[in-house]
């Protein structure tokens, strides 16, 4: 099947390659020409303008936009909308906020253009493992694109089948789903990322407890110098917490158990935030997902203003002055809370 | 190798069976004789008293106690201590609090008896998949028992090897570790369960957001009736959140997406609680693990007294009276917060 | 000074009365005429249409809209905008989302109309105690309305002066502030309510711990039947946690320590939710404010779907079936976590 | 009435002074003699040994121990127990863990000595304002000491009376309560401090949101440079969040709105931790109190190991490398989450 792809970052380029390997016809455009040439070398048709891309494709066209979410994607879709013909379909494979999908689908429908949103998971591993796809859009449009999705998805692989699945409905087992109307694909992907934050933070906290069990502030008999790499590894087999994230943890710890190349400042992206906003809108209690996001916010700051305010209040009622410096010693001190009468507040 | 096992609940009986299948010699005792007979039919030597168990074993003996943690295990160990000889080893495979292990190891050492604590993960799947073992105790004692642990553990299986592992140190890759001195095994298992709570709650919250996305209180264009079974299934392939817990989720949802056989009152056990206590003792921030535990506490109550107090305060400052009943409508109402001036507090 | 007031709910009516008592001239409108008549009896000029209200006021007019936030307020402002003259000012005293204020101020400025947003705290107590006012809008417009705000605010009262305050800048000490441009008033009020949720939940959790200290599941020597009314009362004097919310708590507990008239289903309004959204937008970690909101969400549900999913996972790995019913016994059971080997997962 | 006091830190010395002002007879001991002399100058009887203290007091004696909780207090009580006579009473006014009180009371009862635990709130303000006292012990013993508690407590003061209180039971209204048997006093004080942490964190988070509303990463029209000192001040009057902690906040911000003398590393003491342990033991969900404690733990660290692990996982699945440095820019970046396709995981 024929597909145009706009945006040849790592994800866009690998999606193109996975399609090419399955003999799909792929026309690619990227702002910088070298990436286009690289794909052309792998068998794609490379073009140097959006107009040329549209010209190379036979109607009804399908164009996959794989650009940074937000303004960049928004403008590209506006550009495309002016060039395309009724019946053509624009696929947004990026990390768009699902309410933007709903709006866009409505705007494009008024011009008889179709819109499909695809939440795409798989990252640097997707080219080989395949991409887990969560798709939103009209039934017949998504159906028309099925050969593409089928190629991109991981397929059954060697993962054990789930007992009780309806064998006739096997898209989910092959790694892609049509989640619902426009926006539903990105909504499911958004929640996926929200869960991902929670899972990651659960492991992070657990390993923190293991790590600090060697602290000198603990009674000597209760101090353990645990081998975290071994622990991550052993949990991969037969334990309840085995997961792909644990596999990655085991790899990272096997390589450098001190994790010294990582600063500990953890970025977050739109999906993690939108998940909390959605939960708030839907009145769903999500303490774990929210705590995981907040831990990332906190990780990127030296001290919050709020923490200084806590110290100021403590000074106000008890005359305590929190000393500068001494992170390590402060922790050690606090782990033997003494409850001095002078701080009896 | 020869092993005595006390306690033939599901875990104890399956551990015996897995050892028997590998030609180990197993002597078993259980308070109720029928369980002993069942194991004897599978090849174990069955005995009807602790004294007989000790008598059947050649010194230096190894006896695996697999009983409910707490008083039951404590008393059994006291009983054994009076019957055993210097050099014998008692293995506690249950869910004992690790500080109890440390204390016991010291008490037994004074009598020249050895103590090994084994955190055992694997549950109903362990007989076939093997048990993930986290072991605490003295190096030479744990080493002596290695043939047993090697049999009980899952082995390499078909799980991809972790790049960067030292091939010489392969116990962890075969599914068991010697974590450290007495208590270290149960400590690692305890944190394992703490993480497990966090992981489970992350999935639970995510699926709650997906489920409530169909609520009528949302604008119609933003309402999605998502197929949760399909979503769990598709995430099993190529996504970041794939895990064994997700496999179980997919199975549960494939069987009954309404989960109607489950009440939603979620039990918790000692390990989840002790994990939080350990974090508090070690001054480790664990918002996700704690939130997961608190969600279980809350799940088992109709309303907390604290919630009534919130309502009482709201009445005090604003004259609001929270109505009885109407859970569903209350949620619906709240998802369109109106901010009435009369409640402008 | 002259003021029009639209909306005579409890807040609007009491604001009118407090102004009347200070000899301001107040023209009032309400959809239902009886409320207008009641205010007219107290000295207000009552009118029966928006047009009449505008007609009664001398230019430049000031009109305080005190209606439910959202569509009702939005439409009233649109109606007023068509009737007013350049230089007139619309005051929104309700609980409007601050981004709506910013948009409206821009729209009205294009028509040479002024817009002022007033976050108003004080509730049923405001008529006597005065209202704490957080005001957004252009400097000269807010300044023009100062006599009204000065009357509505509580004044110095008998609250001890804060050392270090600049005596010249005494609005804040008299209970009102000009927080910034349009939207700033409601933004500050929004955060106020977010904090309020956190404070309330802190008390609620603390009293929950006190209450459950009498549980039979605890060792008898560690069980205390505490007098919660006395505790709330004693903390009002000389303790760090004294506050107005604690005063209300003490009143509620003095009246009925069982709080039996309150269901425990706790409503929430827009401000509490928008506070979390703002924190997420601004990358501020707010675990306490978010937890407080989530506790209210949870309080209005019997069981979440997520909780059922937790039970389903537990069944999947351990064969546990959470029993229906038995909230009390379930709690009691859980407070003596036994760590049965059979659940060794 | 006669009282011995051991420990003349700020709290002990001020308790002695408040009693002296009301004509009680106070015998004081402290390890360093200068503090004894200072109190003697204020009218106390100063002694230089524990034996002398016991000798100066008439039986049945009452001795208030005001030393650091833990070993120091434990040893002093052991010393006293050897010197005292049946019927004498030891009062522990420090911050002892309530289970230690229960144990001690039992041990002392076997020697016919009485034990009373007093949770004492008031800090540097107590000498003038009085101390809020939460008392545990046997009814008749606590009753015997009533004149002392009555003097130390704040009394009715000018705080409005709570409607509905039983006028006959006025101890709580005068600022002290007999909470229950030994340990109950410190238990109530412990929960008091747990609540205090929650309240403080709620304000801290709210002011963080206000502070960061001026961030350049926000759209210019939505940026507010708020006057935090004015906001704290205005909330003191007529608002729901008024409290003593808010008074202290207003003072701190009036003095230096940048809070530049405070590092933001916030200490915690035993009570905050034991509150969480108690909640875990009693199966009470306390997300706010726990989050407040965890925020303090986090405030004392540069980065947790867990945060580095989060970064390592992100690198594992997406090739992200979190950069060192750039706290400020990292925050700014993250507040405009871009959702790059390359990070589509």
pLDDT tens digit string along D221-251?
999 999 999 999 999 998 999 999 999 999 9
pLDDT tens digit string along C274-306?
999 999 999 999 999 999 999 999 999 999 999
The structure tokens listed for A18 are 């996975």
pLDDT of residue D318: 80
pLDDT of residue A331: 27
Question: Which chain D residues are within 8 Å of A265, Cβ to Cβ?
Answer: 303, 307, 311, 322-324, 326-327, 330
Question: Which chain A residues are within 8 Å of B275, Cβ to Cβ?
Answer: 206, 209
Average pLDDT over residues C79-94: 98
Peptide bond into C94 cis (omega under 30): no
Shortest distance, CA D52 to any CA of chain C (angstroms): 34
Contact at CB, B297 and D283, closer than 8 angstroms: yes
Cα separation of A320 and A317, whole Å? Answer: 8
Among candidates A203, A212, A279 on the partner chain, residue whose Cβ is nearest the Cβ of B195: A203
HEC string for chain B: CEEEEECCCHHHHHHHHHHHHCCCEEEEECCCHHHHHHHHHCCCEEECCHHHHHHHCCCCCEEEECCCCCHHHHHHHHHHHHHCCCCCEEEECCCCCHHHHHHHHHHHHCCCCEEEEEEEECHHHHHHHCCEEEEECCHHHHHHCHHHHHHHCCCCCCCCCCCCCCCCCCCHHHCEEEEECCCHHHHHHHHHHHHHHHHHHHHHHHHHHHHHHHCCCCCHHHCCCCCHHHHHHHHCCCCCCCEHHHHHHHHHHHHCCCCCCCCCCCCCCHHHHHHHHHHHHHCCCCHHHHHHHHHHHHHCCCCCHHHHHHHHHHHHHHCCCCCCCCHHHHHHHHCCCCCCHHHCC
Question: Which chain C residues are within 8 Å of B271, Cβ to Cβ?
Answer: 339
pLDDT tens digit string along A195-230?
999 999 999 999 999 999 999 999 999 999 999 999
Shortest distance, CA A188 to any CA of chain D (angstroms): 13
Contact in structure between B130 and B153 (CB atoms under 8 Å): yes
Name, in order, each residue with C-beta under 8 angstroms of D264's C-beta and a sequence gap of 6 or more. Answer: A302, A303, A304, A307, A308, A310, A311, A322, D299
Distances (CA, A) of A222 to A219, A225, B94, D69: 5, 10, 19, 22
Name, in order, each residue with C-beta under 8 angstroms of B95's C-beta and a sequence gap of 6 or more. Answer: B69, B119, B186, B189, B269, B270, B271, C339, C340, C341, C343, C344
The structure tokens listed for D78 are 């052991």
| Helix/strand/coil for D259 | coil
| Helix/strand/coil for D51 | helix
Cα separation of D129 and D121, whole Å? Answer: 11
Contact at CB, A273 and D12, closer than 8 angstroms: no
Cα separation of D11 and D15, whole Å? Answer: 6
Question: Which chain D residues are within 8 Å of B268, Cβ to Cβ?
Answer: 283
pLDDT of residue A326: 33
Phi, psi of B104 (to 5 degrees): -60, -45
pLDDT tens digit string along C11-59?
999 999 999 999 999 999 999 999 999 999 999 999 999 999 999 999 9
Average pLDDT over residues B155-163: 90
pLDDT of residue A158: 87
| Catalytic residue, candidates C196, C211, C213, C216 | C196
For C296-311, the DSSP string reads: HHHHT-S--HHHHHHH
Residues of chain D with pLDDT under 50: 323-345
Residue with tokens 């949103």: A117
Q: How far apart are the first and last CA of chain B?
A: 73
Q: Please tell me which residue of chain D has the smallest CA distance to C209.
A: D279
Query: Residue A318: which pLDDT band, with cuts at 50, 70 and 90?
Result: confident
Contact at CB, C306 and B205, closer than 8 angstroms: yes
The structure tokens listed for B234 are 């598709």
pLDDT of residue B124: 78
Q: Is D189 a residue of the active site?
A: yes
Contact at CB, B280 and D291, closer than 8 angstroms: no
Q: Please tell me which residue of chain D has the smallest CA distance to C196.
A: D241
Cα separation of C246 and A11, whole Å? Answer: 56
For A236-277, the DSSP string reads: TTT-TT-BHHHHHHHHHHHH-TT-TT--S-----HHHHHHHH
Q: Has residue C341 got a pLDDT over 50? A: no
pLDDT of residue D48: 96
Alpha helices in A138-243 (DSSP H): 139-144, 146-152, 184-211, 228-235
Which residues of B participate in catalysis according to the annotation?
Answer: 189, 196
Q: Has residue A166 got a pLDDT over 90? A: no
Contact in structure between D295 and C287 (CB atoms under 8 Å): yes
Q: Has residue A138 got a pLDDT over 60? A: yes
Name, in order, each residue with C-beta under 8 angstroms of D29's C-beta and a sequence gap of 6 or more. Answer: D4, D5, D6, D7, D8, D36, D46, D47, D48, D49, D50, D52, D53
Residues of D with CB under 8 A from a CB of B: 240, 268, 273, 276-277, 280-281, 283-287, 290-291, 293-295, 297-298, 300, 304, 317, 345
Shortest distance, CA B266 to any CA of chain D (angstroms): 12
The CATH class for the domain spanning B2-160+167-181 reads alpha beta
Contact at CB, C284 and A304, closer than 8 angstroms: yes
Residues of C with CB under 8 A from a CB of A: 240, 268, 273, 276-277, 280-281, 283-287, 290-291, 293-295, 297-298, 300, 304, 317, 345
Q: Please tell me which residue of chain D has the smallest CA distance to A286.
A: D287
Of B16, B23, B57, B67, residue with least CA distance to B37:
B16
Shortest distance, CA C16 to any CA of chain B (angstroms): 14
Q: Please tell me which residue of chain C has the smallest CA distance to A241.
A: C345
CB pairs < 8 Å spanning B and D:
51
pLDDT tens digit string along A108-134?
999 999 999 999 998 778 899 999 999
Distances (CA, A) of A336 to A217, B2, C222, D267: 7, 45, 24, 11
| Catalytic residue, candidates D74, D107, D196, D233 | D196
pLDDT of residue A96: 97
How do the domains of chain B map onto residue ranges? 2-160+167-181, 189-299
| Helix/strand/coil for A286 | coil
Q: C189-299 adopts what CATH topology?
A: 1.10.1040
Shortest distance, CA A139 to any CA of chain D (angstroms): 24
Query: What ranges make up the beta strands (E) of chain C?
Result: 2-6, 25-29, 45-47, 62-65, 89-92, 114-121, 132-136, 176-180
pLDDT of residue A170: 86
pLDDT of residue A284: 98
Contact in structure between D276 and D286 (CB atoms under 8 Å): yes
Among candidates C277, C295, C317 on the partner chain, residue whose Cβ is nearest the Cβ of A280: C277
Q: Across all residues in chain C, what is the average pLDDT?
A: 91
Name, in order, each residue with C-beta under 8 angstroms of A170's C-beta and a sequence gap of 6 or more. Answer: none
Contact at CB, D250 and C175, closer than 8 angstroms: no
Contact at CB, A199 and B155, closer than 8 angstroms: no
Shortest distance, CA B65 to any CA of chain D (angstroms): 26
Query: Residue B165: which pLDDT band, with cuts at 50, 70 and 90?
Result: confident
Name, in order, each residue with C-beta under 8 angstroms of C236's C-beta and a sequence gap of 6 or more. Answer: C242, C246, C247, C250, D159, D162
Helix or strand (DSSP H, E) at A77:
helix A71-83
Interface test with D, best of B242, B294, B303 (most D CBs within 10 A): B294
Question: Which chain D residues are within 8 Å of C197, Cβ to Cβ?
Answer: 202
Of C69, C60, C83, C98, residue with least CA distance to C11:
C69
Average pLDDT over residues B134-151: 98
Name, in order, each residue with C-beta under 8 angstroms of C34's C-beta and a sequence gap of 6 or more. Answer: none
Cα separation of B44 and C237, whole Å? Answer: 70
Cα separation of D155 and D191, whole Å? Answer: 22
R_g over Cα of chain A: 25
R_g over Cα of chain C: 25
**What's the DSSP call for residue D47?**
E
Cα separation of D225 and D212, whole Å? Answer: 9
Contact in structure between A101 and A92 (CB atoms under 8 Å): yes
Contact at CB, A341 and D66, closer than 8 angstroms: yes
HEC string for C35-74: HHHHHHHCCCEEECCHHHHHHHCCCCCEEEECCCCCHHHH
Question: Which chain A residues are within 8 Å of B123, Cβ to Cβ?
Answer: 240
Cα separation of D233 and D222, whole Å? Answer: 23
List b or e across A284-314, with b for residues whose CB sees 16 or more CB atoms inside 10 angstroms.
bbbbbbbbbbbbbbbbbbebbbbbbbbbbbb
Q: Has residue A313 got a pLDDT over 70? A: yes
Question: Which chain B residues are within 8 Å of C188, Cβ to Cβ?
Answer: none
Query: What ranges make up the beta strands (E) of C227-313?
Result: none
| Catalytic residue, candidates C189, C220, C265, C271 | C189
Half-sphere exposure (Cβ direction) of B61: Cα atoms closer than 13 Å: 25
Contact at CB, D236 and C159, closer than 8 angstroms: yes
Cα separation of B293 and C310, whole Å? Answer: 12
Q: How many CB atoms lie within 10 A of CB D17?
A: 17
Question: Which chain D residues are within 8 Å of B285, Cβ to Cβ?
Answer: 294-295, 297-298, 304
pLDDT of residue C167: 72
Cα separation of C45 and C29, whole Å? Answer: 9
Adjacency order of strands within the sheet including D132-136 = D45-47, D25-29, D2-6, D62-65, D89-92, D114-121, D132-136, D176-180
Q: Across all residues in chain B, what is the average pLDDT?
A: 91
R_g over Cα of chain B: 25
Of B56, B79, B99, residue with least CA distance to B270:
B99
Of B296, A74, C132, residue with least CA distance to D338:
A74
Exposed / middle / buried, residue B138 (Cβ in 10 Å: 0-12, 13-18, 19+): middle
Average pLDDT over residues B278-296: 98
Chain A contact partners (≥3 CB pairs within 8 A): B, C, D
Cα separation of C171 and D236, whole Å? Answer: 12
Contact at CB, C288 and D284, closer than 8 angstroms: no
Q: Please tell me which residue of chain A has the smallest CA distance to C343.
A: A240
């Amino acid at each position: 099947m024929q597909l145009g792809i706009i945006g040849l970052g790592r994800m866009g380029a690998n999606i193109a390659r996975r399609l090419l390997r399955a003999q799909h016809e792929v026309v690619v455009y990227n702002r910088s020409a070298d990436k286009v040439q690289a794909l052309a070398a792998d068998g794609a048709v490379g073009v140097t303008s959006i107009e040329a891309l549209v010209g190379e494709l036979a109607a009804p066209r399908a164009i996959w936009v794989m650009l940074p979410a937000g303004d960049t994607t928004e403008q590209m879709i506006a550009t495309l909308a002016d060039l395309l013909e009724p019946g053509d379909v624009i696929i947004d494979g990026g990390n768009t906020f699902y309410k933007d999908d709903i709006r866009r689908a409505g705007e494009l429908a008024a011009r008889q253009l179709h819109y499909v949103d695809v939440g795409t998971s798989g990252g640097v591993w997707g080219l080989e493992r395949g991409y887990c796809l969560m798709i939103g859009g009209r039934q017949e449009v998504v159906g028309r694109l099925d050969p593409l999705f089928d190629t991109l998805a991981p397929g059954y692989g060697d993962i054990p089948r789930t007992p009780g699945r309806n064998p006739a409905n096997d898209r989910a087992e092959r790694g892609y789903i049509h989640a619902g109307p426009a926006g539903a694909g990105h909504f499911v992907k958004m929640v996926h990322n929200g869960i991902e934050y929670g899972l990651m933070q659960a492991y992070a906290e657990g390993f923190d407890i293991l790590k600090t069990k060697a602290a000198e502030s603990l009674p000597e008999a209760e101090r353990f110098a645990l081998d975290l790499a071994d622990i991550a590894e052993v949990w991969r087999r037969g334990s309840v917490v085995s997961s792909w994230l644990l596999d990655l943890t085991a790899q990272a710890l096997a390589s450098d158990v001190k994790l010294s190349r990582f600063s500990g400042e953890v970025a977050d992206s739109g999906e993690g935030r939108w998940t909390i906003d959605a939960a708030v809108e839907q009145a769903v209690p999500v303490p774990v997902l929210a705590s995981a996001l907040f831990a990332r916010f906190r990780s990127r700051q030296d001290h919050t203003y709020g923490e200084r305010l806590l110290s100021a209040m403590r000074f106000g009622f008890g005359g305590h002055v929190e000393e500068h410096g001494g992170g390590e010693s402060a922790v050690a001190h606090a782990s033997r809370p003494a409850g001095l009468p002078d701080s009896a507040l």
